Structure 1
Amino acid sequence: MTPKQFTNKFEGISFDIYGVRLPKFKPKEKKELNLNKKDNLSFLKALCSHGLQTRPLINEKRQEYVDRAKDELRIIEELGFVDYILLVYDVINYCADENIPTGLGRGSAAGSLVLYLIGVTHVDPIKYGLYFERFISKTRAKKQIVDGITYLDGELMCDVDIDVCYYNRPKVLQYLEEKFKGKTAKILTLNTLTSKLLIKECGKVVASKDETEMNTVSSYIPKVFGKVQSLDTAVEEVPEFRDWCDKNQNVYNVAKKLGGLIKNKGVHPSGVLLSYKDLESSCPVELSSDKDPVSGYDMNWVSLSNVKLDILGLRSVSVVDQACKEIGINVTDIDLEDPFIYQKLQDLRSPHGIFQIEADANFRVCQKVKPKNLEQLSA
């Protein structure tokens, strides 16, 4: 249940949660840059200025890069996201110093020229026609000032997925723990009963059905893009499931009542909580089986008053890095417009090892679309 759903359900209950307060910190500066700026905004502007001089850009569009960088910086400053952007930069910078492979950038963050200029992402948003507004929207992002303190709306904050080498993710987390002592934790997840599991278990318990029959019945419930559909949707769309439910109405009714209940708890695979104050003053805390601190709130609640960093440990990042090292190239040297890449995708027989495309639904879409360039692939 999200905080909004909670307050809507229980009238008269409210929370004095003003929003996210970003922790103050000074990002580690690369020695070779020698920027020596006193405040974080000046530091970010200097990083962008350096990027305009050193990053691969389209020469004919130099002024467009300058104008867009100024616009993005103005919005980032206006909405109070400077420290968040530099926090992400600091993590990427640490990875570079420690030779930890990172991803080239994905999701809405790839639409930010600022992130490209400071080296967080490696896809030129102007070259590929990507929109900054997908990353940060002035009409959606909100902040408020209470007693002179700026708070950001955690549900509407910008979000950068930081992809790192799977085997070195613990090292990155340790860096954050040491930099922000007593202020970091992993994030609780609450796993609910899915419709497939519900109908299967209710059939066995309520009506003493055997395993074979219930495996068949649960298989009627469809998945769309990997997401198991609800009991109601299955009844509407699958005649075989609807017929079975009509004959076993009691099983269906019990399963409906149990829908959405929590099955068990776990730890978010990528989320890291970063609090402004000591962790215990921000949320309840428990220890995982590995003795790591874990928030007592799930992601929806934690993000109301804390920074949530998404640091994903991906084997694909590790594999690509190792492959590039063995053939003597840098991953950023690969021409994303090379027709060979898209011919291979069009001839695709096995998606194994291709990030996200190897998922069954995405693989089928790729087979039908047969992308010929990066724009078609990203769409």
Structure 2
Amino acid sequence: MPPVVPAAPQATIVRGGDAATRVTSTYAALSQEVREAGLLRRAYGYYLVNGLVLLLALGGVATGFVLLGDSWFQLLVAAALGVVLTQLAFLTHETAHRQVFASGPLNDRVGRILANAVVGISYSWWMTKHTRHHANPNQVGKDPDVAPGVISFTREAAADHHGLLGAITRRQGWLFFPLLTLEGINLHVTAVRSLLTGPPEDHASRRRELLTVLVRLAVYVAVVLWWLPLGLGLAFLGVQLAVFGVYMGATFAPNHKGMTMIPAGSRIDFLAKQVLTSRNVRGGAWMSVLMGGLNLQVEHHLFPSMPRPHLARARVIVRAHCARLGLPYTETSLLRSYAIVVRYLNEVGLAARDPFDCPLRQRLGRR
């Protein structure tokens, strides 16, 4: 049976109290070196150009939608819209991390507009979930990105799935990318549900955010179904949501899936925790555009507020620092990262049902 954490070859399982896995944290020295290199300064010019390009792209998609009218070429427009909305979601992610502006409130205002009114997802839900993820990446019980769901990231979670869900779990690696076609719908549904069920002390702000999200979604659907015949309109919505979901999932999946999983209750210093659980994707400047800077995940997790164009220079410093410590630094190609993710998910899913294993021995082993 595969281990709980089938990870990249360099990764190691970290358990509390295991002196062999402790890495003396030198994050303060690394942070000082990065700061002195000027890599934490704002990059206003970059984000101005990025924002203008995305606005022009969104305008181009809208123009194409109007001009094409009743044509099945509209599905190409729908796919382009899915790509542009994903790129806008990347920009939203960067405002949430205070990467764009020096002012926190200004980052939040722009982020709320982009997330709620343009992309159609909840900014407050994203902030809460993503902040928890950054604090404890791949830690069982703390990281919401590895919490039990349709996809299982631990054998224990996979073992709880039965029936149809169990059948999906046993093949979840192969089904991962097909399932991502539904992620666009899931993000919108989760946004609305989170705003309806959030804490009562945030009722006023949640109500404003919920109204914005609902108006955005309703107007978008109404315009598409008014301008296009019903069948074509539904196909347009389906293609846009599928592209949006696959693009989002395919960008975030390589970052941590298949890397070290930190067992619940373990303690590990910040530097080792972020480096051991994160994976970079090679590809240079074009990959940074494609993945919204998330291809440099190690540096992003070590310095969440660092602007995207500075991450590549930080990579050189971080790699050298990790080499001096003997701390594994993982970097691979995009296709290789997908292969690792698929293999990892399949091994976790199959581990939940070993036909040659005795159920009594499994229960005794867990005790």
Bucket of the pairwise TM-score, normalised by the shorter protein: under 0.3
Give the strand-richer structure, 1 or 2.
1
Instruction: Give the alignment's TM-score, normalised by structure 1.
Output: 0.23
**Rg larger for:** 1
Name the structure, 1 or 2, with higher relative contact order (CA <8 Å, separation 6+). 2
TM-score by length of 2: 0.24
Q: Which has the higher helix share?
A: 2
